[in-house]
Structure 1
């Protein structure tokens, strides 16, 4: 009887194991018939059993079930659960015949599901989620490609860029820079924004060599995108390479002789080079070629006004150039001692101040008329207009034109 009993118990144990392996087979059958609810229930039951929970086949089927659910639901959590199941299956049996035949397609399905979720997050401007999901997609690819099984998941240059972009938007600047540079190294040409962000990132880091390299590569890849010319000029300006900057400015102005905005931008930039200021707005020492730069700026403003005589900004800029020179000579005059105030030098300085103020006046008056005609002004125009009115008030006061001083004062009060 004892032998019979022992024999019976062994038979019972064997039957239980077969029953649980039957759950694995049942899950596969349910999966084939698209009954995903039953497939999940059966495989979860098999994973609760001591006899089958550590079997590679069980985990592989679990992966297939969760992969099917993830694909149907477009679910990242389900895709990652499938990924973990496949990992466990391969850990338990790295050379599973089914894995060797199917795993490439299965891992790519998970990679695509998670990556597509990242793109959807990107479109919705959910930067943190996009960043996280792109990272997970690359995690799947790195794992599978490192297993040296049949096939591989190819490097997606587009997703590499968008991971960097999402990271940048999410505030992960170091990660963003790494992936943006990787996308550039992979010759991704889909978005000029990649080079813009790269240049900005290297500028922030103070890496001038890579900053300029990103600008030049962007300019070469997207020659019609004007941003790279502007960024290159900013680079030369901030790094003190005035000769290169001047060359670029003049080339651009010469190539666009009838473009008003180009001519005005040229004049403003050259004017700023002649009159550098620190971050607080205080004057810095004038460059050695100050007079040359001022002559070029003056010619640039006049060229812009030939193209658009009524433009208030161009009129203000040229007026301000004359006015600021007058202020400079006035400072020299005020710095003279009381004995020197009646000297020939003082008379010369006084003459220059008056001449430059008179030269500036009609340009400020045209700017005043132009801004007033615009009606509602944006913040930038409002600030320029305010500066224009202050300058007019000062000139009218010097000329003792009290009525005009009061008129300008009312305009200033109306801007507040």
Structure 2
């Protein structure tokens, strides 16, 4: 019985394989109807009898290319309406099938079944000619919020240059667009929270001179993840971003926060002074003032913040508030000291006078920040409440009401 069943299985297998060979022949006869031909040849792509034949994949790729060409033509016809989903899906499948064809050919060349590839040159030319259209596919998908397809198309644009079919094509490897669109692949991967893809494409995309900062930001997010991140690589990426794209506040802000948290304020000041030497922006001045504040170099910090105010533009309100901090926070040290003293202690009254003097100095700067940014009460709200409580209860009551406390 087992022998009979085995024989039947062999016969069925032979019939199935024969059916796939027949399907390939039928698909050939339907070349003028590529959509039908693509459906007919599909089973042959998974049957070992036909899937190992380069011609099967070449035909499948040809049908996808024909479908792509038909849809693409509609873009150039007056009033033409192209199905962009079908258009770019066919393009991606054409790439998949032509690359598989090349893989099968190389295997046969290596085994001695073929002397040289039959389809490589023609397929390579088709892939290279249409490669830029992968960008359109990626952009179309990204704009629709379809980040998986955006990653597929942008990723394919980048990856294909390293395929064996282009082993001798140095121009593709040198294409500056590779890094640019690796950036966009990284952005799509970041939207999908695909850390592996972020790292893969971000490592390439960061080399683009204009948009590489986007890839580095995504890499920083990936390495900065609390659960799966890598703090050492995060710091490397932030430092690289600061060096390559010093105009991007994201990197400067992160590296300065790191220096402050680690107590490495001198290192932060050295780096921000280096940046200021070539590009004096309000943000860099603001960062320098904060670092000076952290070192308790209050006079130096005030001078830096005053420079921001004198120049006008961005961060003026913040600079006024930080000058207020340079008086308010030293006062808090005295407040803390007084909390340990008895009221009848002569030092207590001396401290009270010092607190009031510092508050008087801080008050106009917080009030100016409030005037400039009345909606941003984190700059001035609690500080002015503390000051008014000490100096003027009527103003305290008014501000408390204004803040809805």
| Alignment TM class, shorter chain as reference | 0.5 to 0.7
* Gaps in structure 2 of 5+ consecutive residues: 1-20, 72-86
Q: What corresponds to 1:63 in structure 2?
A: 61
> Which of 386, 395, 405 does residue 390 from structure 2 map onto?
395
Q: How many pairs were matched up?
A: 354
For the residue of structure 2 that corresponds to 1:384, the secondary structure is coil
Is residue 357 of structure 2 the alignment partner of residue 351 of structure 1? no
Is residue 303 of structure 2 the alignment partner of residue 299 of structure 1? yes
Cα 1:153–1:45, aligned 2, differ >3 Å: closer, same or farther? farther
Q: CA RMSD in A?
A: 4.6
Q: Displacement of 1:167 after TM fit?
A: 0.9
* 1:181-200 Cα deviation digits (max 9, x unpaired): 1344xx43341322333344
TM-score by length of 1: 0.65
Q: What corresponds to 2:329 in structure 1?
A: 324
Query: Within 1, Cα distance between the matches of 2:270 and 2:259?
Result: 10
Cα 1:303–1:103, aligned 2, differ >3 Å: closer, same or farther? closer
Q: What corresponds to 1:80 in structure 2?
A: 93
* Gaps in structure 1 of 5+ consecutive residues: 1-17, 275-289
Cα 1:70–1:248, aligned 2, differ >3 Å: closer, same or farther? same
> Which of 392, 397, 401 does residue 406 from structure 1 map onto?
397
Is residue 263 of structure 2 the alignment partner of residue 240 of structure 1? yes
* 1:7-30 Cα deviation digits (max 9, x unpaired): xxxxxxxxxxx99997566445x4
Q: How does 1:169-248 map to 2 (within 5 A)?
A: 169-184=191-206, 187-191=207-211, 192-204=213-225, 205-208=229-232, 210-222=233-245, 224-225=247-248, 227-248=250-271
Q: Displacement of 1:332 after TM fit?
A: 0.8
For the residue of structure 1 that corresponds to 2:263, the secondary structure is coil
Cα 1:161–1:311, aligned 2, differ >3 Å: closer, same or farther? closer
Q: Displacement of 1:365 after TM fit?
A: 4.0
Q: What corresponds to 2:11 in structure 1?
A: none
Query: Within 1, Cα distance between the matches of 2:259 and 2:235?
Result: 9
Contact 1:59 1:88 in 2 (8 A): yes
Deviating more after overlay: 215-224 vs 167-176 = 215-224
Q: How does 1:93-112 map to 2 (within 5 A)?
A: 95=114, 98-108=118-128
* 1:378-410 Cα deviation digits (max 9, x unpaired): xxx1332422441343123xxxx4433333333
TM-score by length of 2: 0.67
Query: Within 2, Cα distance between the matches of 1:301 and 1:235?
Result: 22
* 1:223-268 Cα deviation digits (max 9, x unpaired): 65555444443343344322111223455567778x6665444323
For the residue of structure 1 that corresponds to 2:193, the secondary structure is coil
